[in-house]
Amino acid sequence: MGTLPPPPPGEPAAPLTPDELRELYSLMVTVRHLDTSAVAWQRQGIIPGYAPELGQEAAQVGSGYAVDLSRDFVFPTYREMGVARAMGVDMVSYMATHKATWHGGLYNPLESRLAPIQAVVAGSVLHAVGWAHGQTLDHKDGVALSYFGDGASSQGDVHEAMNFAAVLKAPVVFFVQNNGWAISVPTERQVAGGSVAARADGYGIPASQVDGNDVVAVVDATRKALANCRAGNGPVLIEAMTYRRGPHSTSDDPGRYRSLQEEHDDAGQDPLERFRQVLLTRGIAGEAFFATALAKAKAEEEMVRSGLQALQPRPGSEMFDLVFQETTPALQAQAANWREESEHV
C-alpha cells in the first residue's frame, strides 16, 4: 500500500510533550468510564440504546486530539464518543442523541466542529468529501476527518467517496477503525485481502495502517495525514487496527458469534493499561496522577449521568419544524394530522 509523505515545510509533527501525554491518558480514562457507564445507563433505562467502543479509546482519542478545531471538521458515525470528548464536546449534549430527546444532539455542530451523529452506515463519508471540496472551492485550508469501520468500508458510498475525493483532490482524511468485526462478521469474511488500507491504492490515495491501540502512534499518523491534506495533496486513508472488546451495540450479544476465550486471545493488551505502563516506564506519570485522573473521570461520569436524567422530552411538534428551510403543503398536512391525533387540536 502507499505511504504518507512527510508533513509539509512549516508544519512539522512535533513530539508530544509530557503534559500532552498526560492529557491523552486523562482523556482515555474519562472515555473508558463514560463508555462503560453508558452501557449501564441503557440497562437502567436512562438511554434506550448505545454503541460501545470498549477497546477503541486510543484510536478515537488519538485521532480526535489531532484535529485543529479552528479549521477542520469531523464527520462521525454512531460510535465516536471518544472523538467527541477529545474535541471538547459537552458530553450531556452529545449523549442527548442516545437518549433520543433530540435527533441531532444538543451540541452545536458549527461551534464544536463535529457533525451530527450519523446512524446510517457510511452515511457521512460522502458528506465529508462534499465539505472538503467546499474548502477547496473557497480557498480555505480546513480538512474533513471522516470515520467509518471495516464493515462500512464494503458500502458503495465509501468507494464513491474515495473516488470523488481522489478526482477532486479533496482535503479529507478517511479514518477507518478496523475493530475486527462488522457486527457479527469478522473482517476476514467481508474485506477481501483483509486490509481496508490496501483498497486506497485503486483510487491513487496514500494510505497507512497504524496500531490503533497506541494512542501516540494514532496522534502522529493523524497529524501527518491532516498536514498532507492541508498541503493540497488530496485525500489520505488511515486504517487504525484495533479490537471491539464488547458488543456492537447494547442490543447485540457477541456470545452468539465469538467466545470469551476468542475475545481474550484476539483483543491483545488493553490500550488504556498499555499507555499507563508507557507513562510509568518513562517517568512521565506516577500513581498519584493516575488516581487523580480516575477520580476526575468518575466525577465527570456522575455529572453526565445527572445531566442526562435531567433532560426533559422535546415537544413532538418539533419534528416538523426543522425539516426544510421553507415548509411544504405536505409537511403542513402531516403536522396538522399529528396535532389532531396526539394533541386533539
Q: What is the DSSP letter of 68?
A: -
Quickly tell me which residue has 471491539 as its cell. 244
Cell digits of residue 215: 494512542
Asked whether the beta carbons of 250 and 39 are under 8 A apart, the reply is yes
Distance, in Å, from the CA atom of 334 to the CA atom of 322, rounded to the nearest integer, reads: 14
* 3-class SS letters over 128-180: HHHHHHHHHHCCCCCCEEEEEECCHHHCHHHHHHHHHHHHHCCCEEEEEEECC
3-state SS, residue 277: helix
Q: How far is CA 264 from CA 184, 248, 257, 267, 315, in A?
A: 16, 16, 14, 6, 45
The total of other beta-carbon atoms located within 10 Å of residue 333's CB is 10
Residue with cell 457507564: 37
Q: Count CB neighbours of 202 within 10 A.
A: 11
Indicate the length of the chain as a whole number. 345
DSSP secondary structure string for all residues of 92-138: HHHHTTTTTSSTT-SS-HHHHTBPPP--STTTTHHHHHHHHHHHHHT
- Residue 6 CA: distances (Å) to CA of 11, 157, 163: 10, 29, 23
Count of beta carbons in the 10 Å neighbourhood of residue 337: 10
* Secondary structure class of 34 (helix, strand, coil): helix
Task: Return the active site residues.
Answer: 244, 248, 257
